[in-house]
Structure formats: C-alpha cells, structure tokens
Amino acid sequence: MDDLRMLNERILAHLSVSGPVSEHILQYVTICLGKLKPGATDLTEFIPGANKNTLDVTSLNRTYLDFARLVARDIISGHYDGLLVLGVDMAQARALANLNSQQIINMALRWDGLIFTPASVCKHAEELHYKSHPHFATAILAA
C-alpha cells in the first residue's frame, strides 16, 4: 500500500494537484491513478525509438512500471485484486510480469511521454469547495 500511495503522490504532483485535496485523494483512493497505455503485444514487442523522455517523465515511468511489474507478479500468482488496482487485463498483467529491468528502463526512457494515462478527473479537484474533497476522492473509485 505504501508503494501505491507513493506512486499516486507522484502522479498527483505531476498533475500539479496538491494541498488538502491531494491528501483526501491519497487517503481514500486504493487504486492506481494511472492507466497503462500499451496493450500486451506493445509491451512484449516494444522497440525503443529515437526519442528520449525528460528526466521527470522517465523517473515517473520507471516508478510506474516497477510498481506495475510487482503487482502483475502478484496477479499471476493468484492475487487477482491487483487487476483492479492497476486497471489492466490478464494479458497486460502477464506481459508486465515478464518484463526484466532492462526492458523497464528502455520503456521508461524511450516511450513517447508517460507510459500511462493519468486520471483526468484529478486535474479538476482543486476547483471544488474544500468540503467536497472527501466526496470527490470516493467518487474517483466509482468512476
């Protein structure tokens, strides 16, 4: 759970969401705030391109992929709740579980931008009244 919270903190910081709304989201949300972009075949057949991500995007991609691989290995061993945490299908979980460290480094560095799609609803959280922040955080789970 600490790894998930740390990853979600970094995703919220990347989206420039901070303050009390960030704390409420982190307190209530028990799923990853990023959804993996590539499918299973994209993960297994990834060929590094010429582009290079910035250091902050590379670092965030690496953190996401490391966490996703760890959860995917749990999924493969029978802990299927990880499918909900990551928001992936079984084929993506198998592909993630089979990635080695060098493949993760290459994807983190060479994927065009973020390797996941951040939860877009978080961008609008700071516009809400402060009393609605806990309700907003729980609504993310329902979405």
- In angstroms, the CA 113 to CA 66 distance is 17
pLDDT (tens digit per residue) in 15-39? 888 777 788 778 878 889 999 999 9
More confident residue, 118 or 22: 118
Q: Which of 5, 3, 2, 1 is nearest to 137 (CA)?
A: 5
pLDDT tens, residue by residue, 48-98: 777 899 999 999 999 999 999 999 999 999 999 999 899 999 999 999 999
pLDDT at res. 62: 97
pLDDT at 133 over 80: no
Walk me through the domains of the chain, giving residue ranges and CATH numbers.
Answer: 1-33+119-143 (no CATH), 38-116 (1.10.4000.10)
Would strands 34-36 and 116-118 be described as parallel, antiparallel, or unpaired? antiparallel
